[in-house]
Amino acid sequence: MGTILSTIAEQVGTITLKNGKVNPLSKALIDEIQLELEHMKSRSVRVVVLRAEKGVKVFSAGHDVTELPTNGRDPLTYNDPLRQLIRAIEKYPVPIIAMIEGSVWGGACELVMCCDLIVAAEDSTFAITPAKLGVPYDIYGMLNFIKVLDIHLLKEMLFGAQPVTAQRLAECGVVNRIATRDQLETATMNLAQQIKRTSPLVQCILKEELRVLSSASPLNPEAYERIQSLRREVYDSSDYQEGIRAFKEKRDPEFQGK
């Protein structure tokens, strides 16, 4: 245990990631975040802030790569811890603000982007990395990215897997506020105070309406099955194994396209 810090002050809950140098989204960390979210709900908080420790170089390195299966199982199934946390955040009855310092990687980008608002330090970056790691990202996760990012920016981030600045994401309407690292907490708390002044009952239904409407994408069974079979070809591929092996061996992957 002990992978997060949490506080509640004036009906604002703050969850701070504290899971080593790069905050990999391990099952242990995700379980703690979910328990704390439930605790804060019982304490009737009005806003939740999700952050890392002050001054971090890395907000989160994304999914814990050491927990990705290498035995032919789908790496991002419905019950994967990260998928469970993202659904919990989307269904949480009060707004959640992601307060970002440092770099955000892979599934942590989806985690941050499924929060309701993002306040980021001006030098923070976001990198969406499935293609770098060889991972066939899941359908719902891709829908979450499409909800937030324009398609050409999303394709640039997916195909290149390179960090994009918070400034650029703010210009594209993805990041709500940019601040210096010194002003980041103030900017975040100002936003939290604004939210606290409006109706919690209305916020709750507005958030749920937006969740339901933004996920109301018709997907017929044949299309779903076809995409799942394409994903299986990837996570059954030697490239998938190579991506994870290269990460563990601290070298660039050599993908063969099979």
Active-site residue flag, 137: yes
Instruction: Classify residue 202 by burial, with Cβ atoms within 10 Å: 0-12, 13-18, 19+.
Output: exposed
Compute the least distance from the CB of residue 68 to ligand LCV, in Å.
Answer: 6
User: Residue 62 is encoded by which pair of tokens?
Assistant: 């994304």
User: Applying CB under 6 A, does 157 fall inside the site for ligand LCV?
Assistant: no
User: Applying CB under 6 A, does 117 fall inside the site for ligand LCV?
Assistant: no
Stretch that binds ligand LCV, among 1-9, 101-109, 220-228, 230-238 (CB under 6 A): 101-109
Owner of token pair 């952050």: 51
Active-site residue flag, 107: yes
Compute the least distance from the CB of residue 236 to ligand LCV, in Å.
Answer: 16
Helix (H) or strand (E) holding 59, with range, is strand 58-60
User: Applying CB under 6 A, does 129 fall inside the site for ligand LCV?
Assistant: yes
Instruction: List the beta bridge partners of residue 5.
Output: 16
Compute the least distance from the CB of residue 142 to ligand LCV, in Å.
Answer: 10
Compute the least distance from the CB of residue 167 to ligand LCV, in Å.
Answer: 19
SS3 (DSSP) at 47: strand
User: Applying CB under 6 A, does 22 fall inside the site for ligand LCV?
Assistant: yes
User: Residue 118 is encoded by which pair of tokens?
Assistant: 């993002």
Q: Which of 13, 14, 15, 24 binds ligand LCV (CB under 6 A)?
A: 24
Active-site residue flag, 235: no
**What is the C-alpha to C-alpha distance for residues 146 and 155, in angstroms, rounded to an integer?**
10
Q: Which of 92, 126, 137, 145 binds ligand LCV (CB under 6 A)?
A: 137
SS3 (DSSP) at 99: strand
User: Residue 216 is encoded by which pair of tokens?
Assistant: 């109301």
Q: What are phi and psi of 119, to 5 degrees?
A: -115, 125
Which residues contact ligand LCV (rule: CB under 6 A)? 21-22, 24, 57-58, 61-66, 68, 105-107, 129-130, 132-133, 135, 137
Q: Active-site residues: which are they?
A: 63, 107, 137
